[in-house]
Protein backbone atom coordinates (compact mmCIF):
# COMPACT_ATOMS: atom_id res chain seq x y z
CA UNK A 1 0.00 0.00 0.00
CA UNK A 2 1.21 3.47 -0.84
CA UNK A 3 1.87 5.89 1.94
CA UNK A 4 -0.39 8.91 2.06
CA UNK A 5 1.97 11.83 2.07
CA UNK A 6 0.01 14.66 3.66
CA UNK A 7 -1.95 12.49 6.09
CA UNK A 8 1.06 10.65 7.29
CA UNK A 9 0.11 10.69 10.96
CA UNK A 10 -3.56 11.31 10.54
CA UNK A 11 -6.31 8.82 9.90
CA UNK A 12 -7.43 9.39 6.29
CA UNK A 13 -10.81 11.07 6.01
CA UNK A 14 -13.37 8.87 4.34
CA UNK A 15 -16.05 10.59 2.34
CA UNK A 16 -18.69 9.39 -0.05
CA UNK A 17 -20.90 11.22 -2.53
CA UNK A 18 -23.62 8.56 -2.52
CA UNK A 19 -22.92 6.58 0.62
CA UNK A 20 -25.82 4.17 0.27
CA UNK A 21 -24.82 3.13 -3.24
CA UNK A 22 -21.08 3.10 -2.58
CA UNK A 23 -21.37 0.89 0.50
CA UNK A 24 -24.24 -1.31 -0.72
CA UNK A 25 -24.13 -4.92 0.54
CA UNK A 26 -22.77 -7.39 -1.99
CA UNK A 27 -25.95 -9.47 -2.19
CA UNK A 28 -28.07 -6.37 -2.71
CA UNK A 29 -25.61 -5.19 -5.35
CA UNK A 30 -25.92 -8.51 -7.21
CA UNK A 31 -29.71 -8.11 -7.35
CA UNK A 32 -29.34 -4.53 -8.58
CA UNK A 33 -26.83 -5.59 -11.24
CA UNK A 34 -29.17 -8.33 -12.52
CA UNK A 35 -32.07 -5.88 -12.71
CA UNK A 36 -29.99 -3.27 -14.47
CA UNK A 37 -28.52 -5.81 -16.90
CA UNK A 38 -32.02 -6.89 -17.89
CA UNK A 39 -33.13 -3.29 -18.26
CA UNK A 40 -30.13 -2.60 -20.49
CA UNK A 41 -30.89 -5.65 -22.64
CA UNK A 42 -34.53 -4.60 -22.97
CA UNK A 43 -33.36 -1.19 -24.16
CA UNK A 44 -31.06 -2.79 -26.74
CA UNK A 45 -33.91 -5.01 -27.97
CA UNK A 46 -36.34 -2.16 -28.32
CA UNK A 47 -33.74 -0.05 -30.17
CA UNK A 48 -33.06 -2.87 -32.63
CA UNK A 49 -29.99 -2.71 -34.83
CA UNK A 50 -26.49 -4.09 -34.56
CA UNK A 51 -26.35 -4.97 -30.84
CA UNK A 52 -29.74 -6.68 -30.89
CA UNK A 53 -28.68 -8.79 -33.89
CA UNK A 54 -25.41 -9.69 -32.21
CA UNK A 55 -27.28 -10.86 -29.09
CA UNK A 56 -29.83 -12.79 -31.18
CA UNK A 57 -27.05 -14.58 -33.05
CA UNK A 58 -25.64 -15.64 -29.68
CA UNK A 59 -28.95 -17.16 -28.58
CA UNK A 60 -30.68 -14.30 -26.78
CA UNK A 61 -33.47 -14.21 -29.33
CA UNK A 62 -36.16 -12.03 -27.83
CA UNK A 63 -37.50 -10.25 -24.76
CA UNK A 64 -38.77 -13.53 -23.30
CA UNK A 65 -35.18 -14.80 -23.20
CA UNK A 66 -34.16 -11.58 -21.44
CA UNK A 67 -36.83 -12.08 -18.76
CA UNK A 68 -35.48 -15.58 -18.04
CA UNK A 69 -32.14 -14.14 -16.89
CA UNK A 70 -31.82 -14.65 -13.13
CA UNK A 71 -28.43 -13.20 -12.24
CA UNK A 72 -25.79 -10.92 -13.70
CA UNK A 73 -23.57 -14.02 -13.98
CA UNK A 74 -25.52 -14.72 -17.14
CA UNK A 75 -23.22 -12.18 -18.73
CA UNK A 76 -20.74 -14.98 -19.45
CA UNK A 77 -23.16 -16.32 -22.11
CA UNK A 78 -23.39 -13.05 -24.01
CA UNK A 79 -21.13 -12.04 -26.90
CA UNK A 80 -18.30 -9.50 -26.64
CA UNK A 81 -18.32 -6.04 -28.23
CA UNK A 82 -15.10 -4.49 -29.50
CA UNK A 83 -13.75 -1.19 -30.76
CA UNK A 84 -14.06 -2.63 -34.29
CA UNK A 85 -17.84 -2.99 -33.79
CA UNK A 86 -18.04 0.72 -32.97
CA UNK A 87 -15.97 1.61 -36.01
CA UNK A 88 -18.12 -0.61 -38.26
CA UNK A 89 -21.30 1.00 -36.96
CA UNK A 90 -20.00 4.58 -37.11
CA UNK A 91 -21.47 7.03 -36.28
CA UNK A 92 -24.80 6.09 -34.61
CA UNK A 93 -25.33 2.40 -35.38
CA UNK A 94 -24.47 1.32 -31.85
CA UNK A 95 -26.74 3.84 -30.10
CA UNK A 96 -29.77 2.58 -28.18
CA UNK A 97 -31.45 6.00 -28.05
CA UNK A 98 -32.69 8.03 -30.99
CA UNK A 99 -30.30 10.82 -31.96
CA UNK A 100 -32.92 13.41 -30.96
CA UNK A 101 -32.41 12.34 -27.32
CA UNK A 102 -28.64 12.72 -27.46
CA UNK A 103 -27.43 15.92 -25.79
CA UNK A 104 -23.68 15.42 -26.14
CA UNK A 105 -21.18 13.67 -28.42
CA UNK A 106 -17.60 12.83 -27.48
CA UNK A 107 -15.09 10.97 -29.58
CA UNK A 108 -11.79 9.17 -29.33
CA UNK A 109 -9.41 8.01 -32.02
CA UNK A 110 -10.31 4.75 -33.68
CA UNK A 111 -7.96 2.32 -35.36
CA UNK A 112 -8.67 3.24 -38.98
CA UNK A 113 -8.72 7.02 -38.90
CA UNK A 114 -12.46 7.34 -38.26
CA UNK A 115 -13.12 8.42 -34.67
CA UNK A 116 -15.16 6.41 -32.23
CA UNK A 117 -18.28 8.30 -31.26
CA UNK A 118 -19.78 8.25 -27.76
CA UNK A 119 -23.27 9.66 -27.20
CA UNK A 120 -25.00 10.76 -23.99
CA UNK A 121 -28.60 11.52 -23.08
CA UNK A 122 -29.44 14.13 -20.46
CA UNK A 123 -29.74 11.38 -17.88
CA UNK A 124 -26.36 9.88 -18.90
CA UNK A 125 -24.70 13.24 -18.24
CA UNK A 126 -26.35 13.53 -14.80
CA UNK A 127 -25.20 10.02 -13.85
CA UNK A 128 -21.70 10.58 -15.20
CA UNK A 129 -21.42 13.81 -13.18
CA UNK A 130 -22.46 11.95 -10.03
CA UNK A 131 -19.93 9.21 -10.65
CA UNK A 132 -17.25 11.87 -11.04
CA UNK A 133 -18.40 13.48 -7.78
CA UNK A 134 -17.85 10.06 -6.16
CA UNK A 135 -14.28 10.14 -7.51
CA UNK A 136 -13.60 13.50 -5.84
CA UNK A 137 -15.09 12.43 -2.51
CA UNK A 138 -13.06 9.21 -2.72
CA UNK A 139 -9.90 11.34 -2.75
CA UNK A 140 -11.20 13.54 0.10
CA UNK A 141 -11.75 16.49 -2.21
CA UNK A 142 -14.69 18.66 -1.25
CA UNK A 143 -16.79 21.53 -2.50
CA UNK A 144 -14.48 23.96 -0.74
CA UNK A 145 -11.66 22.95 -3.06
CA UNK A 146 -10.62 24.90 -6.16
CA UNK A 147 -9.96 22.58 -9.08
CA UNK A 148 -7.62 23.39 -11.93
CA UNK A 149 -8.79 21.24 -14.82
CA UNK A 150 -5.91 20.73 -17.25
CA UNK A 151 -7.47 17.80 -19.12
CA UNK A 152 -8.27 18.70 -22.73
CA UNK A 153 -11.72 20.16 -23.30
CA UNK A 154 -13.40 19.11 -26.52
CA UNK A 155 -14.12 15.71 -28.02
CA UNK A 156 -11.89 14.07 -25.37
CA UNK A 157 -13.99 13.07 -22.36
CA UNK A 158 -11.41 14.25 -19.79
CA UNK A 159 -12.15 18.00 -19.78
CA UNK A 160 -15.94 18.03 -19.66
CA UNK A 161 -16.12 14.81 -17.61
CA UNK A 162 -14.14 16.38 -14.76
CA UNK A 163 -15.86 19.73 -15.25
CA UNK A 164 -19.41 18.46 -14.82
CA UNK A 165 -18.41 16.26 -11.89
CA UNK A 166 -16.75 19.20 -10.15
CA UNK A 167 -19.84 21.37 -10.64
CA UNK A 168 -22.05 18.54 -9.36
CA UNK A 169 -20.00 18.46 -6.17
CA UNK A 170 -20.05 22.25 -5.96
CA UNK A 171 -16.31 22.77 -6.27
CA UNK A 172 -14.88 25.90 -7.90
CA UNK A 173 -13.55 24.72 -11.24
CA UNK A 174 -11.05 26.49 -13.51
CA UNK A 175 -11.56 25.16 -17.07
CA UNK A 176 -7.93 25.52 -18.18
CA UNK A 177 -7.75 22.65 -20.69
CA UNK A 178 -4.27 21.26 -21.49
CA UNK A 179 -1.29 23.37 -22.55
CA UNK A 180 -0.54 27.10 -22.10
CA UNK A 181 1.88 26.16 -19.35
CA UNK A 182 2.69 29.69 -18.23
CA UNK A 183 -1.00 30.47 -17.88
CA UNK A 184 -1.47 27.26 -15.87
CA UNK A 185 1.00 28.57 -13.29
CA UNK A 186 -0.46 32.07 -13.25
CA UNK A 187 -3.93 30.71 -12.51
CA UNK A 188 -2.62 28.12 -10.07
CA UNK A 189 -0.98 30.85 -8.03
CA UNK A 190 -3.46 33.71 -8.41
CA UNK A 191 -6.70 31.73 -8.04
CA UNK A 192 -5.13 29.42 -5.47
CA UNK A 193 -6.01 26.05 -6.98
CA UNK A 194 -5.98 23.32 -4.33
CA UNK A 195 -6.47 20.34 -6.65
CA UNK A 196 -5.09 19.58 -10.11
CA UNK A 197 -6.65 17.38 -12.79
CA UNK A 198 -4.60 16.28 -15.83
CA UNK A 199 -2.74 13.32 -17.30
CA UNK A 200 0.16 12.06 -15.17
CA UNK A 201 2.63 12.97 -17.91
CA UNK A 202 1.36 16.55 -17.97
CA UNK A 203 1.52 16.69 -14.16
CA UNK A 204 5.14 15.57 -14.43
CA UNK A 205 5.85 18.23 -17.03
CA UNK A 206 4.28 20.89 -14.81
CA UNK A 207 6.36 19.65 -11.90
CA UNK A 208 9.54 20.01 -14.02
CA UNK A 209 8.61 23.55 -15.08
CA UNK A 210 7.13 24.97 -11.88
CA UNK A 211 10.39 26.39 -10.49
CA UNK A 212 10.71 28.66 -13.55
CA UNK A 213 7.39 30.35 -12.89
CA UNK A 214 6.86 29.93 -9.16
CA UNK A 215 10.29 29.72 -7.48
CA UNK A 216 8.72 29.91 -4.02
CA UNK A 217 6.60 26.78 -3.67
CA UNK A 218 4.86 28.19 -0.61
CA UNK A 219 2.98 30.42 -3.09
CA UNK A 220 0.92 27.49 -4.34
CA UNK A 221 -1.90 25.85 -2.45
CA UNK A 222 -2.11 22.57 -4.37
CA UNK A 223 -2.76 19.64 -2.06
CA UNK A 224 -4.07 16.88 -4.32
CA UNK A 225 -4.22 15.73 -7.93
CA UNK A 226 -6.32 13.22 -9.85
CA UNK A 227 -4.43 11.81 -12.79
CA UNK A 228 -5.41 9.24 -15.40
CA UNK A 229 -6.16 8.54 -19.07
CA UNK A 230 -2.85 6.67 -19.51
CA UNK A 231 -0.86 4.02 -17.65
CA UNK A 232 1.49 5.39 -15.00
CA UNK A 233 3.75 3.64 -12.53
CA UNK A 234 3.96 3.95 -8.75
CA UNK A 235 7.40 5.50 -9.30
CA UNK A 236 5.84 8.26 -11.40
CA UNK A 237 3.27 8.82 -8.66
CA UNK A 238 6.08 9.29 -6.12
CA UNK A 239 7.90 11.73 -8.40
CA UNK A 240 4.80 13.88 -8.94
CA UNK A 241 3.89 13.78 -5.25
CA UNK A 242 7.37 14.81 -4.20
CA UNK A 243 7.95 17.55 -6.75
CA UNK A 244 4.53 19.19 -6.49
CA UNK A 245 4.13 18.39 -2.79
CA UNK A 246 0.73 16.80 -3.34
CA UNK A 247 -1.18 13.59 -2.81
CA UNK A 248 -1.80 11.93 -6.22
CA UNK A 249 -4.73 9.66 -7.14
CA UNK A 250 -5.42 7.44 -10.13
CA UNK A 251 -8.67 7.53 -12.12
CA UNK A 252 -9.69 5.22 -14.95
CA UNK A 253 -12.25 5.40 -17.71
CA UNK A 254 -12.79 5.16 -21.44
CA UNK A 255 -14.99 7.01 -23.91
CA UNK A 256 -16.80 3.93 -25.18
CA UNK A 257 -18.09 3.12 -21.70
CA UNK A 258 -18.57 6.70 -20.41
CA UNK A 259 -15.29 8.58 -19.93
CA UNK A 260 -13.37 9.21 -16.68
CA UNK A 261 -15.03 7.86 -13.54
CA UNK A 262 -15.43 4.17 -14.33
CA UNK A 263 -12.96 3.42 -11.51
CA UNK A 264 -11.04 5.51 -8.98
CA UNK A 265 -8.76 5.34 -5.98
CA UNK A 266 -9.96 6.07 -2.46
CA UNK A 267 -7.67 7.50 0.22
CA UNK A 268 -6.16 4.06 0.85
CA UNK A 269 -4.85 3.84 -2.73
CA UNK A 270 -4.88 0.07 -2.79
CA UNK A 271 -6.50 -0.37 -6.18
CA UNK A 272 -9.23 1.46 -8.07
CA UNK A 273 -12.85 0.91 -7.00
CA UNK A 274 -15.00 0.13 -10.04
CA UNK A 275 -18.40 1.83 -9.88
CA UNK A 276 -20.02 -1.60 -9.99
CA UNK A 277 -23.59 -0.40 -9.74
CA UNK A 278 -23.00 1.18 -13.17
CA UNK A 279 -20.47 -1.13 -14.80
CA UNK A 280 -20.16 -4.90 -14.60
CA UNK A 281 -16.48 -5.92 -14.75
CA UNK A 282 -14.96 -9.22 -15.87
CA UNK A 283 -11.39 -10.28 -16.52
CA UNK A 284 -10.74 -12.52 -19.50
CA UNK A 285 -7.82 -14.24 -21.12
CA UNK A 286 -7.17 -11.91 -24.07
CA UNK A 287 -6.13 -14.84 -26.27
CA UNK A 288 -9.03 -17.22 -25.68
CA UNK A 289 -11.76 -15.01 -24.22
CA UNK A 290 -12.08 -17.37 -21.23
CA UNK A 291 -13.34 -15.66 -18.06
CA UNK A 292 -10.62 -15.67 -15.39
CA UNK A 293 -10.94 -16.03 -11.64
CA UNK A 294 -10.69 -13.14 -9.20
CA UNK A 295 -7.01 -12.26 -8.71
CA UNK A 296 -5.92 -13.49 -12.14
CA UNK A 297 -4.45 -10.93 -14.53
CA UNK A 298 -6.05 -10.43 -17.92
CA UNK A 299 -8.10 -8.07 -20.09
CA UNK A 300 -10.79 -5.98 -18.46
CA UNK A 301 -14.25 -6.37 -20.00
CA UNK A 302 -17.03 -3.96 -19.04
CA UNK A 303 -20.80 -4.05 -19.45
CA UNK A 304 -22.91 -0.91 -19.03
CA UNK A 305 -25.64 -1.26 -16.44
CA UNK A 306 -27.05 2.25 -16.37
CA UNK A 307 -26.53 3.94 -19.74
CA UNK A 308 -29.25 5.16 -22.04
CA UNK A 309 -27.59 6.44 -25.17
CA UNK A 310 -24.93 3.85 -25.76
CA UNK A 311 -24.99 0.84 -23.44
CA UNK A 312 -22.38 -1.75 -24.40
CA UNK A 313 -22.37 -5.43 -23.56
CA UNK A 314 -19.05 -7.04 -22.64
CA UNK A 315 -16.89 -4.33 -24.17
CA UNK A 316 -13.29 -5.50 -24.53
CA UNK A 317 -11.20 -2.64 -23.17
CA UNK A 318 -7.79 -4.17 -24.08
CA UNK A 319 -6.60 -2.89 -20.68
CA UNK A 320 -4.67 -5.36 -18.55
CA UNK A 321 -5.38 -5.60 -14.83
CA UNK A 322 -6.81 -7.90 -12.16
CA UNK A 323 -9.66 -7.63 -9.70
CA UNK A 324 -9.88 -8.07 -5.97
CA UNK A 325 -13.04 -8.32 -3.92
CA UNK A 326 -11.18 -8.02 -0.59
CA UNK A 327 -12.71 -5.51 1.78
CA UNK A 328 -11.33 -1.99 1.60
CA UNK A 329 -10.86 0.07 4.77
CA UNK A 330 -12.80 2.94 3.16
CA UNK A 331 -16.03 0.95 3.47
CA UNK A 332 -16.81 0.92 -0.25
CA UNK A 333 -18.03 -2.50 -1.28
CA UNK A 334 -17.15 -2.19 -4.97
CA UNK A 335 -14.40 -4.46 -6.29
CA UNK A 336 -11.05 -2.92 -6.94
CA UNK A 337 -8.82 -3.28 -9.97
CA UNK A 338 -5.04 -2.95 -9.93
CA UNK A 339 -3.49 0.03 -11.62
CA UNK A 340 -3.66 -0.72 -15.35
CA UNK A 341 -0.47 -2.48 -16.42
CA UNK A 342 -0.87 -1.48 -20.08
CA UNK A 343 -2.95 -2.20 -23.14
CA UNK A 344 -2.79 -5.46 -25.05
CA UNK A 345 -2.02 -3.19 -28.05
CA UNK A 346 1.06 -1.81 -26.29
CA UNK A 347 2.38 -5.12 -25.06
CA UNK A 348 5.82 -5.69 -26.56
CA UNK A 349 6.83 -9.28 -27.26
CA UNK A 350 10.59 -9.63 -27.38
CA UNK A 351 12.03 -13.11 -27.82
CA UNK A 352 8.77 -14.48 -26.45
CA UNK A 353 8.84 -12.28 -23.33
CA UNK A 354 5.90 -9.94 -22.76
CA UNK A 355 6.86 -6.44 -21.66
CA UNK A 356 4.73 -3.39 -20.92
CA UNK A 357 6.13 0.15 -21.06
CA UNK A 358 4.94 0.65 -17.45
CA UNK A 359 7.42 -2.04 -16.29
CA UNK A 360 10.29 -0.28 -18.04
CA UNK A 361 9.07 3.00 -16.52
CA UNK A 362 9.22 1.53 -13.01
CA UNK A 363 12.91 0.75 -13.47
CA UNK A 364 13.85 4.07 -15.10
CA UNK A 365 11.94 6.30 -12.70
CA UNK A 366 13.70 4.75 -9.72
CA UNK A 367 17.03 6.14 -11.02
CA UNK A 368 17.58 9.64 -9.65
CA UNK A 369 20.26 10.39 -12.22
CA UNK A 370 17.73 10.24 -15.10
CA UNK A 371 15.17 12.80 -16.20
CA UNK A 372 11.70 11.24 -15.76
CA UNK A 373 11.06 10.69 -19.45
CA UNK A 374 11.80 7.90 -21.93
CA UNK A 375 10.93 6.50 -25.34
CA UNK A 376 10.90 2.87 -26.39
CA UNK A 377 11.88 2.34 -30.00
CA UNK A 378 11.14 -0.99 -31.62
CA UNK A 379 13.14 -1.87 -34.71
CA UNK A 380 14.05 -4.83 -36.89
CA UNK A 381 17.59 -6.16 -37.06
CA UNK A 382 18.42 -9.31 -39.04
CA UNK A 383 14.70 -10.09 -39.18
CA UNK A 384 14.50 -9.99 -35.39
CA UNK A 385 12.50 -7.51 -33.29
CA UNK A 386 14.77 -5.38 -31.09
CA UNK A 387 14.25 -2.67 -28.49
CA UNK A 388 16.09 0.60 -27.98
CA UNK A 389 15.29 2.56 -24.85
CA UNK A 390 16.08 6.25 -25.14
CA UNK A 391 16.89 7.86 -21.80
CA UNK A 392 17.85 11.35 -20.69
CA UNK A 393 20.58 11.40 -18.04
CA UNK A 394 20.36 14.56 -15.92
CA UNK A 395 22.61 17.55 -16.60
CA UNK A 396 25.13 16.64 -13.91
CA UNK A 397 25.74 13.25 -15.58
CA UNK A 398 25.74 14.66 -19.07
CA UNK A 399 28.19 17.41 -18.22
CA UNK A 400 30.49 15.02 -16.34
CA UNK A 401 31.61 13.43 -19.60
CA UNK A 402 31.56 10.21 -21.64
CA UNK A 403 32.48 7.87 -18.78
CA UNK A 404 29.62 8.96 -16.55
CA UNK A 405 27.15 8.61 -19.42
CA UNK A 406 28.46 5.14 -20.23
CA UNK A 407 28.15 4.14 -16.55
CA UNK A 408 24.52 5.28 -16.55
CA UNK A 409 23.77 3.41 -19.79
CA UNK A 410 25.41 0.23 -18.46
CA UNK A 411 23.54 0.41 -15.20
CA UNK A 412 20.19 0.82 -16.95
CA UNK A 413 21.03 -1.97 -19.37
CA UNK A 414 21.74 -4.25 -16.42
CA UNK A 415 18.54 -3.28 -14.60
CA UNK A 416 16.41 -3.91 -17.69
CA UNK A 417 18.15 -7.25 -18.15
CA UNK A 418 17.26 -8.16 -14.57
CA UNK A 419 13.63 -7.23 -15.29
CA UNK A 420 13.05 -9.00 -18.60
CA UNK A 421 16.04 -11.31 -19.03
CA UNK A 422 16.95 -9.82 -22.40
CA UNK A 423 19.69 -7.36 -23.37
CA UNK A 424 18.26 -4.27 -25.05
CA UNK A 425 19.94 -1.22 -26.54
CA UNK A 426 20.04 1.89 -24.34
CA UNK A 427 20.65 5.29 -25.92
CA UNK A 428 21.39 8.37 -23.86
CA UNK A 429 20.35 11.75 -25.25
CA UNK A 430 20.93 15.22 -23.72
CA UNK A 431 18.41 16.45 -21.11
CA UNK A 432 15.19 17.96 -22.56
CA UNK A 433 15.63 16.22 -25.93
CA UNK A 434 12.55 14.00 -25.72
CA UNK A 435 9.16 15.54 -26.23
CA UNK A 436 7.12 16.24 -23.07
CA UNK A 437 3.43 15.48 -23.28
CA UNK A 438 0.47 17.69 -22.45
CA UNK A 439 -2.00 14.86 -22.93
CA UNK A 440 -1.42 11.15 -23.23
CA UNK A 441 2.30 10.41 -23.59
CA UNK A 442 3.52 8.36 -26.52
CA UNK A 443 5.92 5.78 -25.07
CA UNK A 444 6.50 3.51 -28.06
CA UNK A 445 7.93 4.41 -31.45
CA UNK A 446 7.44 1.37 -33.66
CA UNK A 447 10.01 1.40 -36.47
CA UNK A 448 9.72 -2.31 -37.23
CA UNK A 449 9.54 -3.32 -40.83
CA UNK A 450 5.98 -4.33 -41.56
CA UNK A 451 5.88 -7.42 -43.75
O1 LIG B 1 -8.80 8.47 -21.37
C2 LIG B 1 -10.92 8.83 -20.27
C3 LIG B 1 -10.22 9.45 -19.11
C4 LIG B 1 -10.05 10.82 -19.06
C5 LIG B 1 -9.79 8.65 -18.06
C6 LIG B 1 -9.43 11.39 -17.96
C7 LIG B 1 -9.17 9.21 -16.95
C8 LIG B 1 -8.99 10.59 -16.90
P9 LIG B 1 -10.12 7.46 -23.84
O10 LIG B 1 -9.43 8.60 -24.49
O11 LIG B 1 -11.22 6.81 -24.58
O12 LIG B 1 -10.72 7.89 -22.47
O13 LIG B 1 -9.01 6.40 -23.52
C14 LIG B 1 -9.33 5.24 -22.81
O15 LIG B 1 -7.11 5.20 -21.87
O16 LIG B 1 -8.87 2.14 -22.44
C17 LIG B 1 -6.93 2.96 -21.18
O18 LIG B 1 -6.15 2.29 -22.14
C19 LIG B 1 -6.38 4.36 -20.97
N20 LIG B 1 -6.61 4.81 -19.58
C21 LIG B 1 -7.58 5.59 -19.10
N22 LIG B 1 -7.39 5.79 -17.76
C23 LIG B 1 -6.29 5.08 -17.41
C24 LIG B 1 -5.58 4.86 -16.20
C25 LIG B 1 -10.02 8.40 -21.41
N26 LIG B 1 -5.93 5.43 -15.05
C27 LIG B 1 -8.08 4.43 -22.58
N28 LIG B 1 -4.52 4.03 -16.23
C29 LIG B 1 -8.33 3.22 -21.72
C30 LIG B 1 -4.12 3.46 -17.39
C31 LIG B 1 -5.80 4.44 -18.58
N32 LIG B 1 -4.72 3.63 -18.56
Looking up residue 28, the CATH number of its domain turns out to be 3.40.50.12780
Q: How far is the CA of 198 from the centre of ligand 1 (A)?
A: 11
Ligand 1 site, CB within 6 A: 108, 151, 156-158, 228-231, 250-255, 259-260, 317, 319, 340, 343
Closest approach atom of ligand 1 to CA 339? 28
Closest approach atom of ligand 1 to CA 253? 5
Q: Is 318 contained in some domain?
A: yes
Nearest to residue 172, comparing CAs of 139, 149, 200? 149
Q: Could you tell me if 37 and 24 lie in one domain?
A: yes
| Per-residue pLDDT, 114 | 78
Q: How far is the CA of 247 from the centre of ligand 1 (A)?
A: 20
Pocket test residue of 228, 299, 444 for ligand 1, highest count of atoms within 8 A of CB = 228
Domain stop point among 297, 325, 345: 345
Q: Is 5 contained in some domain?
A: no
Q: Could you tell me if 407 and 329 lie in one domain?
A: no
Residue 23 has pLDDT above 60, yes or no: yes
Residue 451 has pLDDT above 70, yes or no: no
% pLDDT > 70, the chain: 96
Residue 159 has pLDDT above 50, yes or no: yes
| Per-residue pLDDT, 2 | 36
Q: Could you tell me if 146 and 168 lie in one domain?
A: yes
Q: Is 369 contained in some domain?
A: yes
% pLDDT > 90, the chain: 92
Pocket test residue of 197, 229, 259 for ligand 1, highest count of atoms within 8 A of CB = 229
Q: How far is the CA of 234 from the centre of ligand 1 (A)?
A: 17
Residue 4 has pLDDT above 50, yes or no: no
Taking the alpha carbons of 337, 343, 348, 349 in that order, is the dihedral positive or negative? positive
Residue nearest to atom 6 of ligand 1 (CA): 158
| Residues whose CB falls within 8 Å of the CB of residue 98, separated by 6 or more in sequence, listed in order | none
Rounded average pLDDT over 375-384: 93
Q: Could you tell me if 155 and 283 lie in one domain?
A: yes
Q: Could you tell me if 368 and 340 lie in one domain?
A: no
Task: State the Cα–Cα distance between residues 117 and 147, nearest whole angstrom.
Answer: 28
Q: Could you tell me if 300 and 414 lie in one domain?
A: no
Domain stop point among 345, 378, 393: 345
| Per-residue pLDDT, 249 | 98
Q: How far is the CA of 261 from the centre of ligand 1 (A)?
A: 10
Nearest to residue 294, comparing CAs of 101, 98, 26, 115? 26
Q: Is 451 contained in some domain?
A: no
Task: State the Cα–Cα distance between residues 194 and 39, nearest whole angstrom.
Answer: 40
Residue 361 has pLDDT above 90, yes or no: yes
Q: How far is the CA of 227 from the centre of ligand 1 (A)?
A: 10
Task: State the Cα–Cα distance between residues 183 and 188, nearest whole angstrom.
Answer: 8
Q: Is 336 contained in some domain?
A: yes
Mean pLDDT, the chain, integer: 94
- Banded pLDDT at 5 (limits 50, 70, 90): very low
Q: Is 4 contained in some domain?
A: no
Q: Could you tell me if 264 and 305 lie in one domain?
A: yes
What CATH code is carried by the domain that includes residue 362? 3.30.300.30
Q: Is 381 contained in some domain?
A: yes
Rounded average pLDDT over 422-431: 95
Q: Could you tell me if 352 and 314 lie in one domain?
A: no
Residue 26 backbone dihedrals phi, psi, to 5 degrees: -65, -40
Q: Could you tell me if 324 and 354 lie in one domain?
A: no
Task: State the Cα–Cα distance between residues 175 and 436, nearest whole angstrom.
Answer: 22
Q: How far is the CA of 248 from the centre of ligand 1 (A)?
A: 16
Q: What is the pLDDT of residues 217-234, one digit of tens each?
A: 899 999 999 999 999 999
Contact 168, 130 (CB under 8 A): yes
Domain stop point among 281, 311, 345: 345
Residue nearest to atom 1 of ligand 1 (CA): 229
Contact 431, 390 (CB under 8 A): no
Q: What is the pLDDT of residues 36-78, one digit of tens each?
A: 999 999 999 999 999 999 999 999 999 999 999 999 999 999 9
Q: What is the pLDDT of residues 8-21, one digit of tens each?
A: 456 789 999 999 99
Q: Which range has the worst mean pLDDT, 9-23, 227-241, 245-259?
A: 9-23
Q: Could you tell me if 156 and 283 lie in one domain?
A: yes
Task: State the Cα–Cα distance between residues 116 and 255, nearest whole angstrom.
Answer: 8
Residue 166 has pLDDT above 50, yes or no: yes
Q: Is 7 contained in some domain?
A: no
- Banded pLDDT at 294 (limits 50, 70, 90): very high
Residue nearest to atom 13 of ligand 1 (CA): 254
- Banded pLDDT at 3 (limits 50, 70, 90): very low
Concatenating the DSSP letter of every residue in 251-266 gives EEEETTTTEEEEEEE-
Residue 111 has pLDDT above 70, yes or no: no
Q: How far is the CA of 278 from the centre of ligand 1 (A)?
A: 17
Count: domains in the chain: 2
| Per-residue pLDDT, 112 | 61
Rounded average pLDDT over 400-422: 95
| Per-residue pLDDT, 115 | 87
Pocket test residue of 252, 255, 265, 279 for ligand 1, highest count of atoms within 8 A of CB = 252
Closest approach atom of ligand 1 to CA 116? 11
Pocket test residue of 166, 251, 253, 320 for ligand 1, highest count of atoms within 8 A of CB = 253
Diameter over CA atoms, the chain = 75
Domain boundaries, position 286: 12-345
- Banded pLDDT at 109 (limits 50, 70, 90): confident
Residue nearest to atom 14 of ligand 1 (CA): 254
Q: Could you tell me if 338 and 355 lie in one domain?
A: no
Rounded average pLDDT over 176-191: 96
Q: What is the pLDDT of residues 295-352, one digit of tens each?
A: 999 999 999 999 999 999 999 999 999 999 999 999 999 999 999 999 999 999 998 8
Q: Could you tell me if 121 and 90 lie in one domain?
A: yes
Amino acid sequence: MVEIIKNINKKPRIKYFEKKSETIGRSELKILQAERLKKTLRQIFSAGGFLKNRLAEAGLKNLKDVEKIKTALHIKNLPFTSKADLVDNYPFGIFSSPVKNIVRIHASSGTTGKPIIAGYTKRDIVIWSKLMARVFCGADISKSDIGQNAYGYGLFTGGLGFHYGAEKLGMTIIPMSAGFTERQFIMMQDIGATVLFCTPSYALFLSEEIHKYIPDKSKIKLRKGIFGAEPWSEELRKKIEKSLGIDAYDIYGLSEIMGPGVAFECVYKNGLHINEDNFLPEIIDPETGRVLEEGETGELVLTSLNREAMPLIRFRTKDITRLTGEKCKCGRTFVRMDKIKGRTDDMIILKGVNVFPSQIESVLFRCDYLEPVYMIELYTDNLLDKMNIIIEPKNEIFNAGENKITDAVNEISHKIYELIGIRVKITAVPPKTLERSQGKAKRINDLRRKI
